[in-house]
């Protein structure tokens, strides 16, 4: 499926999502970024519950929203680069391992607003901070190689990436990120597409990162779509968009518990064929083809340009960013392109 016609989107909402399968995650460390509510909260509950030995107690404790000794809350503001850097530094200092990392946090808004880092908020929270944290945590993910499983880095993307458009004029600009960040160019029409664009950028980042990791890397990175779920994601929208969203929510939304199963599958599923999950776009409990644009030549060019631009921007945020890239990733990783196109 390289395209997602609206009828197909509606039909997919009613596809059954398999329940989360029990697995033993004892001794493993799981990080869910953005887990206080919504999909992240439900995913965190699942991760605790599927750990065979301690599941019952952990699930109960999370439900009661009290302190369970193996569940720790850490604060990070993803709209502030230095907060992300400090968060990553602290994790690196205090944790011995990281087996599963889910970047779930995200925002959706049509209002142009800049962060303290002078970046448009949606792209900073959904994409730049996601890239920053993921790269900064690669050494910790790499460290957990004693496990019988690979480490997983899961970025929560969305099926709306199928609908994201990138204008020819935008593609013709010398710098994509600066163009997307430019207030003058962020017309209401552009901002109406912004969240979708941010999810397209998630897919590109995951594919490029996976392609740059060594072919047999013990880190598997993928992007996941939970489907349209009733959550607080659209809390910043205004009337009449809110009315439309309420209508769709009432008619076709999944619960965040159902949607979170996809996150857990992307993080723990298909252990017997993990290579299929490298750089994959996952929907519900399976690998699916990303949008036609993603796998097009134009898409491939945009993917590489974005990678270079992300490295340029984030390399200035933290010197470690480029060091880790130099130590853990190759200059270019074409070994995945063919695989992804033929999926």
Ligand X SMILES: NC(=O)c1ccc[n+]([C@@H]2O[C@H](COP(=O)([O-])OP(=O)(O)OC[C@H]3O[C@@H](n4cnc5c(N)ncnc54)[C@H](OP(=O)(O)O)[C@@H]3O)[C@@H](O)[C@H]2O)c1
What are phi and psi for residue 325, nearest 5 degrees? Answer: -60, -45
Q: Is residue 77 part of the contact set for ligand X (CB under 6 A)?
A: yes
Contacts of residue 228, defined as CB under 8 A and 6 or more positions apart, other chains included, come to: 9, 13, 159, 248, 252, 253, 254
The separation between CA 191 and the C-alpha centre of its own chain, rounded to angstroms, equals: 20
Instruction: Tell me if 219 sits within 8 A of 155, measured CB to CB.
Output: no
Letter string b/e over residues 122-147, b meaning 16 or more CB atoms within 10 A of that residue's CB? bbbbbbbbbbbbbbbbbbbbbbbeee
Residues in the chain: 343
Q: Is residue 81 part of the contact set for ligand X (CB under 6 A)?
A: no
- Report the alpha-carbon distance of residue 338 to residue 331 in Å, rounded: 17
Instruction: Tell me if 142 sits within 8 A of 97, measured CB to CB.
Output: no
Report the residue number, 77 or 274, with the smaller CB distance to ligand X.
77
Q: Is residue 232 part of the contact set for ligand X (CB under 6 A)?
A: yes
Report the residue number, 128 or 325, with the smaller CB distance to ligand X.
128
Q: Is residue 55 part of the contact set for ligand X (CB under 6 A)?
A: no
Q: What is the token pair recorded at 223?
A: 């992007």
How crowded is residue 151: how many other Cβ atoms within 10 Å of its Cβ?
26
Report the residue number, 130 or 318, with the smaller CB distance to ligand X.
130
Q: Is residue 279 part of the contact set for ligand X (CB under 6 A)?
A: no
CA atoms within 13 A on the CB side of 95: 26
- Report the alpha-carbon distance of residue 264 to residue 75 in Å, rounded: 22
Q: Which stretch binds ligand X (CB under 6 A): 48-56, 98-106, 183-191, 332-340?
A: 98-106
Residue 90 beta carbon to ligand X: minimum distance, rounded to whole angstroms: 15
One of 23, 231, 291, 303 touching ligand X (CB under 6 A): 231
Q: Is residue 40 part of the contact set for ligand X (CB under 6 A)?
A: yes
Interface mask (CB under 6 A) for ligand X, residues 139-178, using x and -? -----------------x-x--------------------
Q: Which of 290, 272, 273, 291 is nearest to 282 (CA)?
A: 290
Q: Is residue 233 part of the contact set for ligand X (CB under 6 A)?
A: yes
Q: Which stretch binds ligand X (CB under 6 A): 23-31, 35-43, 164-172, 270-278?
A: 35-43
One of 12, 125, 131, 336 touching ligand X (CB under 6 A): 125
Residue 315 beta carbon to ligand X: minimum distance, rounded to whole angstroms: 22
CB burial of residue 118 (10 Å; 0-12, 13-18, 19+): exposed
One of 22, 24, 27, 36 touching ligand X (CB under 6 A): 36
Q: Is residue 255 part of the contact set for ligand X (CB under 6 A)?
A: no
Q: How many of the chain's residues bind ligand X (CB under 6 A)?
A: 25
Residue 34 beta carbon to ligand X: minimum distance, rounded to whole angstroms: 3
Q: Is residue 290 part of the contact set for ligand X (CB under 6 A)?
A: no
Residue 296 beta carbon to ligand X: minimum distance, rounded to whole angstroms: 23
Q: Which stretch binds ligand X (CB under 6 A): 70-78, 209-217, 295-303, 325-333?
A: 70-78
Q: How far apart are the first and last CA of the chain?
A: 9
Q: Using CB under 6 A, list all residues that contact ligand X.
A: 34, 36-40, 76-79, 104-107, 125, 156, 158, 225-226, 228-229, 231-233, 256
């Amino acid at each position: 499926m390289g395209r997602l016609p609206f009828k197909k989107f509606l039909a997919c909402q009613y596809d059954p999502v398999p329940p989360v399968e029990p697995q033993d995650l004892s001794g493993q460390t799981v990080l869910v970024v953005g887990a206080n509510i919504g999909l992240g909260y439900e995913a965190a509950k699942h991760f605790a519950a599927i750990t065979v030995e301690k599941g019952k107690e952990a699930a109960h404790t999370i439900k009661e929203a009290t302190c369970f000794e193996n569940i720790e809350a850490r604060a990070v503001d993803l709209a502030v680069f230095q907060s992300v850097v400090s968060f990553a530094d602290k994790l690196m200092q205090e944790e011995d391992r990281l087996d599963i990392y889910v970047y779930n946090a995200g925002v959706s808004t049509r209002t142009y607003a800049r962060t303290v880092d002078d970046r448009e908020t949606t792209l900073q929270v959904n994409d730049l901070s996601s890239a920053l944290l993921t790269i900064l945590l690669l050494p910790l993910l790499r460290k957990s190689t004693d496990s019988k499983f690979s480490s997983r880095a899961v970025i929560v993307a969305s099926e709306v990436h199928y609908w994201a458009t990138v204008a020819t004029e935008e593609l013709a600009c010398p710098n994509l990120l600066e163009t997307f960040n430019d207030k003058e160019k962020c017309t209401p029409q552009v901002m109406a597409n912004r969240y979708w664009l941010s999810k397209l950028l998630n897919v590109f980042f995951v594919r490029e990162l996976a392609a740059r990791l060594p072919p047999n890397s013990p880190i598997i990175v993928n992007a996941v779509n939970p489907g349209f779920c009733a959550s607080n994601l659209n809390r910043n929208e205004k009337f009449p968009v809110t009315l439309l969203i309420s209508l769709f929510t009432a008619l076709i939304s999944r619960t965040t518990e159902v949607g979170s199963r996809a996150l857990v599958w992307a993080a723990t599923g298909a252990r017997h064929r993990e290579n299929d999950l490298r750089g994959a776009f996952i929907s519900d409990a399976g690998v699916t083809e990303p949008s036609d644009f993603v796998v097009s030549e134009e898409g491939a060019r945009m993917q590489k340009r974005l990678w270079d631009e992300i490295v340029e921007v984030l390399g200035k945020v933290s010197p470690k960013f480029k060091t880790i890239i130099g130590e853990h990733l190759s200059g270019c990783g074409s070994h995945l392109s063919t695989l992804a196109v033929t999926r």
